[in-house]
Structure 1
Amino acid sequence: MTADLTTSAAEARRRIDVRLAELMPHALPDQPELAAALRDGVLTPGKRLRPLMTLFAAEDLGGAQAPAIDAGCAVEMIHAASLVLDDMPCMDDALLRRGQPAVHAGHGEDLALLVSVAAISHAYGLLAGIAPLSPQARIDCIVILSRAVGVGGLVAGQFADLRGGRNVRPTTEISTTNGLKTGSLFIAAAEIGAVVAGADAGTRNQLRTFADELGQAFQLLDDLLDDGTNPLLIGKDVGKDNGKSTMVSLVGRASVQRRIERHLGAADRGLTEIFGPRSRLHWLVETMLAQARPLSLMQDVTTHGLSEEVGAR
């Protein structure tokens, strides 16, 4: 991809960060501890992949930037809430996230739970209030996001990972769990971008297929990173999958890397059917592919490369 697209993506990420801070839920003036926990849970720097997907999908389909960014920020708030919950002692019991103490570690489990509820509820309110969108488009966005979060999406994936991950599982079951736990929010991000742009049902379905492939690849990348040894390298705890039945533990790193390339290849082909050979969503796929290849030599990866783009989630 060209340097121009890389620069464009960096500027888009900056705009998303600025708007995310503006759209944050505000705690009451006499509750500064809650305000601090919200900031740490939502605004700690990450790569903002999901809102970038929403923005790029919308703009590549001819949609407006401002409502796409707001919708993407709603998706990012859901993602942030999911990370706060994922790190809790009753879940993965992780202490580090995006290079900072996990919210429960820095602010207590009670505030971590409240941050998650606040971020999720605020996300739906944001979608409901995007004035440039038609009432039906806003409803569609809310339905898409609620579907991604609920018992057919993130909740189902997390349950399967928590209760089934310690047992021997076939690779097909692991892929299904990955699709629920990670792919569901990728799918929502892309499809919401299509809704913002007023795309037809066929295009929305094509973007869902693309995002599912990208989500599978991303989760496998995350599994490879968890298999490393240095938490500072990726900004979060490593070894949290130890004892779990993951694709890495079942088929090995080299096979997982080949699976990543296959998923990214399918994602790329799906985009080409929609946009032709080049789009900013293609840039996301190619960026992930470039990151996947060095993972077989994890010790050679530097903090300012892979960790910023993948490990920060």
Structure 2
Amino acid sequence: MNIKEFISTKGEVINEALDKYLPQVRPEELHQAMRYSVLAGGKRLRPILTLVAAQLVGEEEEKVLPAACALELIHNYSLIHDDLPCMDDDDFRRGKKTNHKVFGQGMAVLAGDALLTYAFELLAEIDDLPAERVLLATSKLAKAAGKQGMVGGQAADLLAEGQEIDKQELKYIHTHKTGALLEAAVSMGAILGGASDEQLFALQEYAQGIGLAFQIVDDILDIEGDAEKIGKDVGSDLEQDKATFPALYGLERSKEMAAENCQRAKEAINIFGEQAEVLRKLADYIIEREY
């Protein structure tokens, strides 16, 4: 299997669904701003993980597609807000001007707010899966996106700028800021698919491994990455004196840690045998990616 082709194919499925879920209705400019960021591209890695995890435990892809899209809406809301002048103050995202550069800061804030709330509307309207699974998956996403997950990690990251922090605090920031939503992506697919406790535990261990590896690679790419491939300026972490793995561990050790977490993730899903090969290839892709 060519994992890049797999990601591209699944990404098209998700893009079609997102386009359907985001019609151009009133207020027009708000919806234009929402569509601008969501449909600007991206690997769609998080919703792909949701679909793959659900299929791995025996559920049909179509039934979990709304949940996968809800997750992607939350991811994009976080990017819109993250790019704002009061946060990272980025001018470009995925090779295009950031949302606030096109629609203004006020509309960008509202577009992010709308994507976040609409995500839970999509989840609430799922009616062809057992209600208890939908409720549990919704709770998982809410926690992963909120104060004990992504938002909490972003807050810790903001407070750490210009400060000397220890390795434990750095891990906290990254496992919450980035890892929480990646873990939710896998867990939601497993939960909606009716995974057993053993299967869910294994998939959560996998997700924790790839979540940390993903953020370490992001930190590395901010130093070594190609701005054209990444779609935004590199070196912003250094300019803002952000807490990163290369800053604390050095580049070479950071690369080793990314590989170690990738290996840990792959070993966690041995219980699935060859059926989990797609997840293994996705783990490898995460540490080998160039953007």
TM-score scaled by structure 1? 0.88
8 Å CA contact 1:41, 1:115 repeated in 2: no
Partners of 2:179 and 2:225 lie apart in 1 by 26
Partners of 1:272 and 1:14 lie apart in 2 by 29
Counterpart residue number, 1:249: 247
Q: Secondary structure at the match of 1:268?
A: helix
Gap runs ≥5 in structure 1:
292-305
Partners of 1:100 and 1:6 lie apart in 2 by 22
Residues 89 and 257 from structure 1, CA distance in 2 versus in 1: closer, same or farther, beyond 3 angstroms?
A: same
Counterpart residue number, 1:294: none
By how many angstroms is 1:229 displaced? 6.8
Task: Map 1:187-198; keep pairs closer than 5 Å.
Answer: 187-198=183-194
1:223 aligned onto 2:223: no
Counterpart residue number, 2:17: 19
Counterpart residue number, 1:77: 73
1:182 aligned onto 2:178: yes
8 Å CA contact 2:266, 2:283 repeated in 1: yes
By how many angstroms is 1:274 displaced? 3.5
1:53 aligned onto 2:73: no
1:265 aligned onto 2:234: no
8 Å CA contact 1:55, 1:69 repeated in 2: yes
Counterpart residue number, 1:202: 198
Partners of 1:58 and 1:273 lie apart in 2 by 16
Task: Map 1:13-162; keep pairs closer than 5 Å.
Answer: 13-24=11-22, 26-28=24-26, 31-162=27-158
What is the percentage of aligned positions where both structures have the same residue? 33
Partners of 2:166 and 2:70 lie apart in 1 by 34
Question: What is the CA deviation profile of residues 262-282 of structure 1, one whole-angstrom value per residue up to 9, with x for unaligned ones?
Answer: 000000101223344742111
Partners of 2:142 and 2:51 lie apart in 1 by 19
Moved more, 143-152 or 223-232: 223-232
By how many angstroms is 1:26 displaced? 4.8
One-letter identity of the residue aligned with 2:175: G
Counterpart residue number, 1:274: 272
Residues 229 and 145 from structure 1, CA distance in 2 versus in 1: closer, same or farther, beyond 3 angstroms?
A: closer
Counterpart residue number, 1:298: none
Q: Secondary structure at the match of 2:155?
A: helix
Partners of 1:6 and 1:96 lie apart in 2 by 24
Question: What is the CA deviation profile of residues 81-126 of structure 1, one whole-angstrom value per residue up to 9, with x for unaligned ones?
Answer: 0001111111111111111111011111101111111101110011
Partners of 1:281 and 1:230 lie apart in 2 by 26
Counterpart residue number, 1:301: none
Residues 146 and 25 from structure 1, CA distance in 2 versus in 1: closer, same or farther, beyond 3 angstroms?
A: farther
Partners of 2:102 and 2:273 lie apart in 1 by 44
Gap runs ≥5 in structure 2:
none
Partners of 1:192 and 1:245 lie apart in 2 by 29
Paired residues in the alignment total 289
Moved more, 196-205 or 93-102: 196-205
8 Å CA contact 1:81, 1:120 repeated in 2: yes
8 Å CA contact 1:25, 1:118 repeated in 2: no
8 Å CA contact 1:104, 1:112 repeated in 2: yes
Q: CA RMSD in A?
A: 1.6
Question: What is the CA deviation profile of residues 148-198 of structure 1, one whole-angstrom value per residue up to 9, with x for unaligned ones?
Answer: 011100111000000113211112211111000000001110011001211
Partners of 1:209 and 1:278 lie apart in 2 by 14
By how many angstroms is 1:230 displaced? 4.7
8 Å CA contact 1:206, 1:274 repeated in 2: no
Counterpart residue number, 2:166: 170
